[in-house]
Amino acid sequence: MLEAVKVGVLGLGTVGSGAASILQRNADEIARRAGRGICISIACVRDLKKQRDCDIAGMTLTADPEKVVSDPDVKIVLELMGGTDDALKLVLMAIDHGKHVVTANKALIAFHGNEIFQRAQDKGVAVAFEAAVAGGIPIIKALREGLAANAILWLAGVINGTGNFILTEMCDKGRDFDEVLKEAQRLGYAEADPSFDIQGTDAAHKLTILASVAFGVPLQFEKVHTEGITGISGIDVAYASELGYRIKHLGIARRTDSGLELRVHPALIPCSRLIANVDGVMNAVIVKADALGQSLYYGPGAGAEPTGSAVVADLVDVVRALTTDPENRVPHLAFQPDSLSDIPVLSIDEVYTAYYLRIHVLDRPGVLADVTRIFAAHKISIEAIIQKEQDARAASVPIIILTHRVNEKNMKGAIAEIEELDVVTSRITLIRLETLI
């Protein structure tokens, strides 16, 4: 068997230690799959004295990342340091040194992937990033290779474990958002500053990557419509359940005749859909393809060994391709670089979807007639209306409305007009509804 391939690691934290442990534990199996061994020879860490969660015997530890990317014996650089500025500099430096790169850095790929992939193509090296989306779930490989015969119609995913944990607890146990967020932080599911997770930024990074691989378009994070889950209340979770739905925080990419939809937001999903029952910190992605139809990819979206599994799988793929003509490797974004499409990305106002609305009104005759009249004027068709009994302690009564699919611009116009009615006592709650069929 050929000599083992030496890997240099930037960051030996949770994911780096997980990947190292897998490489050590499954060394023989990995060598059989790759055709040669894979070993970490050098790793850059912030604290040289810190106790590691993996065996560092045989590794050279350094605090200087440039020693890793310039090491002549290193064939593959594994970037697991996070962030974008320093990571970009070091990844480009590694590429310029003729080294292949494996990364789990979703923000790096979402923001700078176009530049990185162009540089890699020019230098004839590979950049692999399976672990950047949905942890250990091999969704990038599925889109790029397993579904290569298909035209992808749409995909939708629960791709942030923190947000999914919060919504699951709110639904299953009737807990308040703030209470569950504090528990998520205590359990390590959420950072001290959880804004990337609960505001949807993390999911938008991942959706940017998924959409590019699925549709063969450049990475364009700035065009993703992004909403978080901070506005979801327990009462809406309860009403959704009563109506046969669960609220999930979805990333959705859809090809339409007019262009691409790229959006991250909460949505009601029928309880009968498998993805509606993805709970806790788990992730899942549904892909609708023209030939295969729907397929579901489910698993842990984070964690040392689940994410490390995806990292090592990328290492195996790169090692297999070390002697391959660069022009014949699997393209970074699934499509040949000169064949990427400049499909326009639609604004949220151009999207068509169904809606859940909660409207609080004074209990007076004719209120419902006024609301339905405004909907009709904006060409909005109502699927169901539920008018709750008035609580003696409350000044208003909630009306719950489900609509058929309608253009978002029409819906915004109708809501603005309804909120002007003197019988409407507060801002209207709107959550999109996706049947995912």
Active site residue ranges = 206
Closest alpha carbon to 264 in 202, 313, 332, 188: 202
Q: Which of 281, 276, 284, 251 is nearest to 266 (CA)?
A: 251
Q: At 342, which amino acid appears?
A: D
Cα angle 366-371-372, degrees, rounded to a multiple of 5 = 100
Burial (Cβ within 10 Å: 0-12, 13-18, ≥19) of residue 325: exposed
| Alpha helices, DSSP H, located in 250-387 | 304-320, 367-377
The separation between the first and the last C-alpha atoms of the chain, rounded to the nearest angstrom, is 49
166 sits in which H/E element: helix 161-173
Q: What is the C-alpha separation between 363 and 423, in angstroms, rounded? A: 8
Which residues are within 8 A (CB) of 323 and not within 5 positions of it... i.e. 6 or more apart? none
Cα dihedral sign for 109, 110, 113, 115?
negative
Name the residue among 116, 110, 73 with its Cα closest to residue 96.
Answer: 116
Find out whether 82 and 45 touch, Cβ atoms under 8 Å: no
